[in-house]
Amino acid sequence: MGQTLRIDLNCDIGESTDPQRMDAEERLLTHVTSANIACGFHAGNPELMRRAVRLARAHRVAIGAHPGFRDPEALGRREVAFSPAEVENLVAYQVGALAGITALEGAQLSHVKPHGALYNMAARDPELATAVARAVAAVDRHLILVGLAGSKLIETARTLGLTAAEEAFADRAYNPNGTLVPRDLPNAVIHDENEVVTRVLRLVRDSLVPAIDGQPVRIHADTICIHGDTVGADPLAQAIRRSLTEAGVRIAAIGSTNA
């Protein structure tokens, strides 16, 4: 018999004080297995962080830190010229902060996933990738580092002895080289639910996803991100999880040993 396919579903939370957005995040947690919590730089604050930790724990969802650049005006999605040393400092600072908040709730951090521009820059720049991985290792070598599948961040994390989880995106378009189409370009975000579900199923089953030009790109994914700020994220996550489950795929958090 073949090995059962397994995937983690993750989402980003703790990024807004808008009541509707906060309610949507809580609904989203019923469908995912991992949550990445904003750590106060691109978004969030200590109160939102603790609320997000409490909700994730209540839904038995793995808790992760989501550090980004201190650029709330652009939601951390604008590339900023930071040195590797500065990146190492800001990642360690944010991960350490969430680790403390998590401890207040009697919970434990599972993973770290950089946010936005920091995520994309560390995916292609070996020096920034090393800075992120060194910061994570310094805080806790048992933390899983999540990065773009096939990226420099994944390669560097493993070189430094960290467990790395390769990530793909449910609703984002890909370039032929496996990188994400920038959000400011047309068709960078896919809004059709049926198309997204079909892409995710193919990605999990065959490790293939169609690029923006229609050609298939091979991507190995340990976890798939469902963006919480996408309109209709809750029903989309529900549809993705239902389709995967019906296809015999086991949904479980990265690092989880539960059957």
pLDDT, tens only, 46-89? 999 999 999 999 999 999 999 999 999 999 999 999 999 999 99
Residue whose token pair is 């995916």: 123
Q: What is the largest CA-CA distance in the chain?
A: 52
39: left (phi over 0), alpha (psi -120 to 50) or beta: alpha
What's the CA gap between 74 and 26, in Å, rounded?
A: 24
Residue whose token pair is 């068709």: 187
What pLDDT does 208 receive? 95
Q: Which of 58-62, 150-154, 163-167, 174-178 has the lowest mean pLDDT?
A: 174-178
Structural element, H or E, at residue 92: helix 84-104
Q: How many angstroms separate the Cα of 72 from the Cα of each of 24, 40, 85, 90, 238?
A: 20, 9, 21, 14, 29
What's the CA gap between 225 and 254, in Å, rounded?
A: 12
End-to-end alpha carbon distance in the chain: 17
What pLDDT does 183 receive? 86
pLDDT per residue as tens digits for the range 201-221: 999 999 999 999 999 999 999
Confidence of residue 2 (pLDDT cuts 50, 70, 90): low
Can you list the domains of the chain with their CATH numbers? 6-251 (3.20.20.370)
What's the CA gap between 123 and 179, in Å, rounded?
A: 9
pLDDT over 80 (residue 257) = no
pLDDT over 90 (residue 228) = no
pLDDT per residue as tens digits for the range 179-204: 999 888 999 999 899 999 999 999 99
Q: Which structure tokens are listed for 218?
A: 């091979």
